[in-house]
Structure 1
Amino acid sequence: MDKRYLLTAFSYALLGLMLGLYMAASHDHGQLVTHAHIMMIGFLISFSYALCYRLWLEESSGCHKGGLVTAQFWLHQLGTLGVAIGLFLLYGEFVALEVVDPFLAIASFSVFGGVVLMMVQLLKAKQAG
């Protein structure tokens, strides 16, 4: 799982940096919020999860397998993609806030749920180790 998160982290880093380069080249910084969220929840949190799996979870009594791990991964991925797409549509003025707001709320809670499930795994690993 650590490698899966590492690969997704750097995929988000590439996406966020491409958006940042586009904004710099076009002198249009309207997607700054989108860029920041891609870099923060896409790259930084995914990279942090990779470290958690590598340093604490893969070594501890099989905590790296099972439904909790899978649910945590997909909650984070779907939530991050949902936030990135929703913010891109909102700040690109493709969709009104009233339309995208419920979508962003669900995606944000999905990311939040991923953090909660990571905490559960870390607490379980601490008890096992």
Structure 2
Amino acid sequence: MTGAARLFFGLAIIYAICGMALGIHMAASHDHIEMPAHAHIMVAGWVMSAIFAFFYHLFPTINASRMAMVHFWVQAVSGIVLVVSLYILLQGNDGVEPVTALASIGFLVGMLIFAWNALPVLRSKV
């Protein structure tokens, strides 16, 4: 695995460890206020990053493109800011809500970049 595929899979592993640790913490403390943050870490972080990694691994030409790396950095930065700010927001710190909103928009932009990268594959006959 190389390029964006490798970076996305490494990121996926980090998300999985963080999400599982948060889940164990919630279970041990019997405080599930962070369930939305946990769900975002596991689905938007672990699952989506792993899917992106395997897509780029399966299509090495796209993986080698500049846009694959742009996708990684937009998705990684906005995703990390999203889950951290969501965690803080759910703790009752409403002042971080604009950061969470901007990170959510950034995460959507990352998905749009992925669509830009991936849709030509669906249209091709290869």
- Structures share a fold, TM > 0.5? yes
- The one-letter amino acid paired with 1:30 is I
- The one-letter amino acid paired with 2:5 is D
Q: Which whole-Å deviations, capped at 9, do the CAs of 1:74-116 have from their partners, x for residues lacking one?
A: 11111111111111101122x22xx222111111111111111
- The one-letter amino acid paired with 2:98 is P
Residue 80 of structure 2 corresponds to: 81
Residue 67 of structure 2 corresponds to: 68
Give, in whole Å, the separation in 2 of the partners of 1:90 and 1:106: 13
| 1:3 counterpart = 2:6 | yes
Moved more, 46-55 or 63-72: 63-72
Residue 41 of structure 1 corresponds to: 44
| 1:19 counterpart = 2:22 | yes
Q: Is the 1:63–1:125 contact (alpha carbons within 8 Å) kept by the matching residues of 2? A: no
Gaps in structure 2 of 5+ consecutive residues: none
Q: How far does residue 67 in structure 1 lie from its aligned partner after superposition?
A: 2.8
Alignment length, in residue pairs? 122
Q: Is the 2:7–2:72 contact (alpha carbons within 8 Å) kept by the matching residues of 1? A: no
Give the share of equivalent positions with the same residue, in percent: 28
The secondary structure found in structure 2 opposite 1:28 is coil
Q: Is the 2:57–2:63 contact (alpha carbons within 8 Å) kept by the matching residues of 1? A: no
Structure 1 runs (4+) deviating above 4 angstroms are: none
Q: How far does residue 128 in structure 1 lie from its aligned partner after superposition?
A: 8.4
Give, in whole Å, the separation in 1 of the partners of 2:116 and 2:17: 30
Gaps in structure 1 of 5+ consecutive residues: none
Residue 34 of structure 2 corresponds to: 31
RMSD: 1.5
TM-score (norm 2): 0.88
Q: Which whole-Å deviations, capped at 9, do the CAs of 1:40-83 have from their partners, x for residues lacking one?
A: 1110100110111122x21xxx3222431121101111111111
TM-score (norm 1): 0.86
